[in-house]
A and B are shown apart, each in its own frame.
Chain A
Amino acid sequence: ETGVTQTPRHLVMGMTNKKSLKCEQHLGHNAMYWYKQSAKKPLELMFVYSLEERVENNSVPSRFSPECPNSSHLFLHLHTLQPEDSALYLCASSPTPGQGYGYTFGSGTRLTVV
């Protein structure tokens, strides 16, 4: 496989459920990101990881918990979400978290919280 792969593509969960989103990149990149895209809003950065170390947490509620076990894998653990958390969650990677590189995005997980 190449590029950035996200699973699942779609997820419906209740407010009391616990679920995890998975992201895997096969590009040899050192930086990985979680973004949230809600309807009619720009992409919002959630977390940045560089070489498995979290370098940015953009004031995200604790009901979202990231995990980066190695430079190729990134998870987003979800628990006790709210309906307003329904959105497209996008994983991205780049060679480094530096400023000169564009991102490669995964296809995203479309999350609906009921």
Chain B
Amino acid sequence: RKEVEQDPGPFNVPEGATVAFNCTYSNSASQSFFWYRQDCRKEPKLLMSVYSSGNEDGRFTAQLNRASQYISLLIRDSKLSDSATYLCVVNTNAGKSTFGDGTTLTVKP
């Protein structure tokens, strides 16, 4: 089993749609969690950290469920510019980061 597993995707949604991605992790010692976005042939960029109480940044909401060992990312009112690959990243207490395979989102007009 992979340490970090993401929804395989791809997700193809119309503009304005709400879309959610899930990510599960196997290491119960994981301490910090992040979502990155990566555009085609570009580097990953930090989108948001994921906090225990859940957090929101504009149209983006991240949630963490420690008991079930998953994190989620919700995007509301999708824009064309949201099209990208979204990477789930899980850090252990020792600072080791494990990246998921990524979920590709395409928002269509």
List residues of A whose CB falls within 8 A of some B CB.
Answer: 41-43, 45, 48, 56, 90, 96-108, 110
Extra inter-chain contacts (9) besides given A45-B96, A96-B95, A110-B41, CB under 8 Å: A42-B4, A43-B44, A43-B87, A98-B95, A99-B92, A99-B94, A99-B95, A105-B43, A105-B45
Q: Return chain A residues, CB-CB under 8 Å to B44.
A: 43, 90, 103, 105
Q: Are B46 and A108 in contact (CB under 8 A)?
A: no
Cβ-defined contact, B95 with A97, below 8 A: yes
Residue numbers in A under 8 Å from B91 (CB-CB): 99-100
Q: Mark B73-95, 1 if CB is under 8 A from A, else 0.
A: 00000000000000101011111
Which range holds the interface residue count of chain B? Answer: 20 to 34
Note all chain B residues with C-beta closer than 8 A to A99.
31-32, 91-95
Shortest CB-to-CB span from B39 to chain A, Å, is 11
The A interface is mostly helix, strand or loop, or mixed, namely loop
Number of A-B contacts (CB under 8 A): 47
Determine if B46 and A43 form an interchain contact, defined as CB atoms under 8 angstroms apart. no
In B25-82, the 8 Å CB interface with A consists of 31-32, 34, 36, 41-46, 49
With the chains together, A107 CA to B45 CA distance in Å? 10
CA distance A98 to B94 in the complex (A): 7
Give the CA-CA distance A107 to B38 in the complex, in Å.
Answer: 11
Evaluate contact between B99 and A42: CB separation under 8 angstroms: yes
Q: Is the CB of B43 within 8 A of A102?
A: no
Whether B7 sits at the interface, judged by CB under 8 Å, is no
Is B42's CB under 8 angstroms from A107's CB?
Answer: yes
A97 to B100, CA, bound (A): 19
Nearest residue in A to B100 (C-beta to C-beta)? A42
- Compute how far the CA of A53 lies from the CA of B29 in the bound complex, rounded to whole angstroms: 25
B101 part of interface (Cβ distance < 8 Å): yes
